[in-house]
Structure 1
Amino acid sequence: MNHNVFRDLVPNYLENLTSEDTNRQMEQHMEQCEDCQEYVNEMREDLFIERINERKEEKKKIDYLKKVRSKSQKKIFMIIGTLLSFFLVLSISYYFLFVHMWIADENNVQTTIHQQDNIVTVTFQSKKDNRYLLAKKEYGDQEYGNQIIVYESWNILTDTKLNQFSELAISLQDGTDITYTFLDENTLLLPNGEEKKLTDKDKLQIIYKNSTEEILLKDLYKNVEIN
């Protein structure tokens, strides 16, 4: 094998692309020619260095892609975190503005009693324009509602698209009512249709934030004013 053919084959030889027969011929040639053997060693070193450099470049590209991906992930997490925080703030704000109700302050409530025939209606109305009240009758261990808890909430954004509770707020703008039906001043008609004879122990409690008012049911029938 002459030198030119040998040197043309060296790149393929180093890449293991030559046949076994060609490899034998080249190895025989290297045994006889030190220059070609040295050429192969130099080519092998150059190829080794080239591959190292390629790996370094490849590693740089991978590291760069990792950094870009990491930055992208951080941006995504930041955006998601910001959106979640914004949604959380909106949810909390919506809850406290439209859903949350608290026991009303007595000073914010105007209470009136109206009697028509034997039906007595206790009406609670907010003294503040941006609030509405909701009175809830509690039965406890009595057959009649012996407690009334007066709740208060904000009355803003009457658009039903923005506030799903706006219809409730509008319906309660003129006050919230609790009714009792009497047969006479000593007899209360219960929700189940039964009659209850009233005594001086039968009292109605109206519960506010910092106070509780009591009134005898007999006095309620007499339309006694509630302070």
Structure 2
Amino acid sequence: MKEKECKLVQDLLPNYIEKLTSKESNKIIETHLKECPECKRILEDMQYDIGLKSKEQCQKETKYMKKYRNKLKILKFLGLILLIIVLAFVVNTIRKYIILNDLYNKSQTINIETKDNYHAILTASRQNSVYYIEQYRKGNKAIQYENSYIKDGNKIKISNKTHYNSNTENFSLISDGINKEKVKGSEDIQNLEWQDLSELKINSLYSAIYSKVKKINYEKRDCYLIQDFGQEIVVEANTGNIIRMVSSLPEEQTTTFEYFREFDTVQDSDIIRPETTDYMEK
């Protein structure tokens, strides 16, 4: 009878420890435990084993939580870094967009084609050639100087041209260093072509995203350096005028353009009829 009662109580001990037994069963078990040292010892052993398992489980959960928190911290840090990068990109793009649009708007206030008093210079250079053109215009009078230097192997070709327009005559003087010719009745001198920001379409969001814009001092003037896909442009900050452009397209020689222009400064003394004595009329 004693053994059966012990067996029954021992079978109920796991549920008793987990508090799954009824009140009546608890009374029976507790009464038996007071009278049976063996069953009491078994209960204590069970409680000890369960305590160890609980402790091990707790330690595992603690380690898991630590790993989870560490991973969460890393993810938060990476997320913060990504957010900073995105914000920096957006702010920088907006900054460039504002600058590029401001330069574009300034460049549209003056149209050289409608001006009748200006002084302009254009220089274009490559590895083996230099082209220089300078023009003075005042009303119906204009004079234009063109000089070119081309190196072809061991040969050097030099060409100098002077075009003159006035109310009474038009002519051109052409020299290659040996021959000198005067061409009468030449066409009117056209306004010097000028690279304009509108042709480069810098006032677009696309340009703001992909170009680099940096404020610099160039020839004692406040300017912006704009770099975009093999092209480098220096733009005067106050006027939006391009004063330098370097084009480095693939499979082409690097070409550098230098621009200068000023308005309403030309005097009659700047447009003097060139001497034609040494030139042969053609």
With the shorter chain as reference, the TM-score category is 0.3 to 0.5
Please, what TM-score do these two structures have when normalized by structure 1? 0.47
TM-score (norm 2): 0.39
- Structure having the higher helix fraction is 1
